[in-house]
Structure 1
Amino acid sequence: MASMASTSTTSTMPPPPPPPSMLAPGKKREGDISDSFASLSGLNATPLPDRYRQLKLSLVAGHDEAQIVASWHRLLDVLRAENDTIARLGPDVIPSLRFSHLEEDLKAKHEELKKRGVAVVRGVIPRDEARAYKDQIEAYVAENKDATRGFPPENPQVYELYWSAAQLAARGHPHLVATQKRLMQALWHVSDPHAPVDISQPTMYADRLRIRQPGDARFALGPHQDGGSVERWEPAGYGLGKVYDEVFAGRWEDYDAWDAGKRAGAVCDLHAGLGACSVFRTFQGWLSISDVGPRQGTLLVYPLAKLATVYTLLRPFFRPKVAASSSSSLPASSADFLSAANWEFTGGAAMTSDLQGATPGHGQEFPEGPNGEPLHPHLELARTMVHVPQVAPGDFVVWHCDGIHAVDKVHSGTGDSSVLYIPVCPLTEVNARYLARQREAFLMGLPGPDFPGGKGESEHVNRPPASAIVGEAARQAMGLAPFLDSGVVLAGDAGLADGLHQVQGALGDGNQLGQGGRLVGPALDLVAGQAPDALLDGVDGVLDLGVEAVHAVDEGGRGVGVGALALGLGMLGGLFEDMLERRQPMGEGRDGHVVEVDGSHCDGSWEGRGFFLLEKWDGTAEE
Structure 2
Amino acid sequence: MSSARLLRPRALQALTTTTTTTTAGRNIGSMAATNAGIQKAMGDISSVFPSLSGVKIPPLPTRFAAIKSQLIGHNKTALEHSWRRLLPALSSRIDEIHHTGPSIIPSIPFTALSQPLSPSTLAAIKKAGAVHIRQVLPPSLALSLKSATQSYIDANSPRVRAFPKDSPAVYELYWSPPQVAARSHPNLLSTQRWLQNLWHSSSPSTKISTTHTLTYADRLRIRLPGDAGFALGPHVDGGSLERWEDPTYSRVYSKVWRGAWEEYDPFDAAHRVDARMDLYNGAGACAMFRMFQGWLSLSSTGPGEGTLKLFPALKEATAYWLMRPFMNADGRVEEPAQARFEGAAMGACQELSEELHPHLRLAEGMVSIPRVEPGDYVAWHCDTIHSVDREHKGVSDASVFYIPTTPLTKSNAEYLKRQKEAALTGGVPPDFPGAGQPGVGEAGFEGCVQWEKEAASGREMGMGTKGWEVMEGMAEGEKEAVREANQAMGW
* TM-score in terms of structure 1 length: 0.70
- Per the TM alignment, residue 47 of structure 1 is displaced from its structure 2 partner at its CA by 2.3
Alignment of 1:74-473 (within 5 A): 74-104=85-115, 106-108=117-119, 109-185=121-197, 187-236=198-247, 238-239=249-250, 242-321=251-330, 343-347=331-335, 349=336, 351-368=337-354, 374-453=355-434, 454=437, 455-466=440-451, 467-468=453-454
**1:436 aligned partner, one-letter code:** K
- Letter aligned with residue 235 of structure 2: H
Distance 1:386 1:209, change over 3 A: same
Q: Could you list the per-position Cα deviations for residues 402-428 of structure 1 after superposition, in whole angstroms to 9, with x for gaps in the alignment?
A: 000000000010000000000000000
Task: Note the C-alpha offset of 1:67.
Answer: 1.2
Partner residue, 1:517: none
Bigger mean CA offset, 76-85 vs 95-104: 95-104
Structure number with bigger Rg: 1
Q: For residues 232 and 135 of structure 1, do their structure 2 counterparts lie closer, same or farther at Cα, with a shift above 3 Å needed?
A: same
Q: What is the distance in 2 between the residues matched to 1:91 and 1:498?
A: 41
Structure 1 position 104, deviation (Å)? 4.0
Q: Distance in 2 between matches of 1:204 and 1:488?
A: 24
C-alpha contact (below 8 Å) 2:276/2:287 kept by paired residues = yes
SS in structure 1 opposite 2:287? coil
Supply the distance in 2 between the matched residues of 1:244 and 1:391 (Cα, whole angstroms): 33
Between 1:72-81 and 1:412-421, the stretch displaced more is 72-81
1:598-620 Cα deviation digits (max 9, x unpaired): xxxxxxxxxxxxxxxxxxxxxxx
User: Which is further off, 496-505 or 267-276?
Assistant: 496-505
Output the CA distance in 2 between the equivalents of 1:446 and 1:488: 37
Q: Which amino acid aligns with 1:461?
A: E
Q: Which residue of 2 aligns with 1:554?
A: none
SS state at 1:121 partner: strand
The 1:308/1:436 distance shift into structure 2, 3 A limit, reads: same
Provide the identity percentage.
44
Query: Per-residue CA shift, 1:497-528, capped at 9, x if unaligned?
Result: 33433211211x2xx2xxxxxxxxxxxxxxxx
What does the per-residue CA deviation read over 1:141-195, in whole Å, with 9 as the maximum and x for residues that have no partner?
111012111111222110000000100000000000001001111x111121111
Report the RMSD for the aligned CA atoms in angstroms.
Answer: 1.7
Q: Which amino acid aligns with 1:314?
A: M
What is the Cα deviation at residue 237 of structure 1? 5.5
* Partner residue of 1:47 out of 40, 49, 59: 59
Could you tell me which runs of 5 or more consecutive residues in structure 2 were left unpaired when the two chains were aligned: 1-33
Could you tell me how far apart the structure 2 residues matched to 1:220 and 1:377 are?
20
The count of residues paired between Structure 1 and Structure 2 equals 452
Structure 2 distance, partners of 1:106, 1:298, is 27
Of the structure 1 ranges 451-460 and 160-169, higher mean CA displacement relative to structure 2 is found in 451-460
Q: Which amino acid aligns with 1:226?
A: D
- Are the structure 2 counterparts of residues 23 and 403 from structure 1 closer, same or farther at C-alpha, using a change threshold of 3 Å? farther
Q: Is this contact kept in 2: 1:25–1:440, CA < 8 A?
A: no
The structure showing larger relative contact order (alpha-carbon pairs under 8 Å, at least 6 residues apart) is 2
2:396 maps to a residue whose letter is G
State the match for 2:28 in structure 1: none
Distance in 2 (CA, whole Å) between partners of 1:365 and 1:144 is 33
> What is the alpha-carbon distance in structure 2 between the residues aligned to residue 469 and residue 175 of structure 1?
19
8 Å CA contact 2:408–2:482 kept in 1: the answer is: no
Deviation at 1:26, TM superposition (A): 7.2
Q: Residue 497 of structure 1 corresponds to which residue in structure 2? A: 479
Work out whether residues 247 and 310 of structure 1, in 8 Å CA contact, stay in contact via their aligned partners in 2: yes
**Per-residue deviation at 1:471?**
6.2
Contact 1:297 1:417 (C-alpha < 8 Å) held by counterparts: yes
Q: What is the distance in 1 between the residues matched to 2:196 and 2:265?
A: 15
Pick closer, same or farther for the CA change 1:233–1:194 going to 2, 3 Å.
same
- Using a 3 Å threshold, how does the CA distance of structure 1 residues 244 and 96 change in structure 2: closer, same or farther? same
Q: Give the partner amino acid of 2:192.
A: Q
Report the alpha carbon displacement of residue 30 of structure 1 after superposing the two structures with TM. Answer: 2.2
Q: In 1, Cα distance between the equivalents of 2:381 and 2:37?
A: 27
Aligned with 2:77: secondary structure? helix
Amino acid at match of 1:215: G
Cα contact 1:125–1:176 (8 A) shared by 2: yes
Please say if residues 25 and 449 of structure 1, whose CA atoms lie closer than 8 Å, have aligned partners that are also in contact: no
Aligned residue number for residue 479 of structure 1: 464
In 2 relative to 1, CA 309–469 (structure 1 residues): closer, same or farther, beyond 3 Å?
A: farther
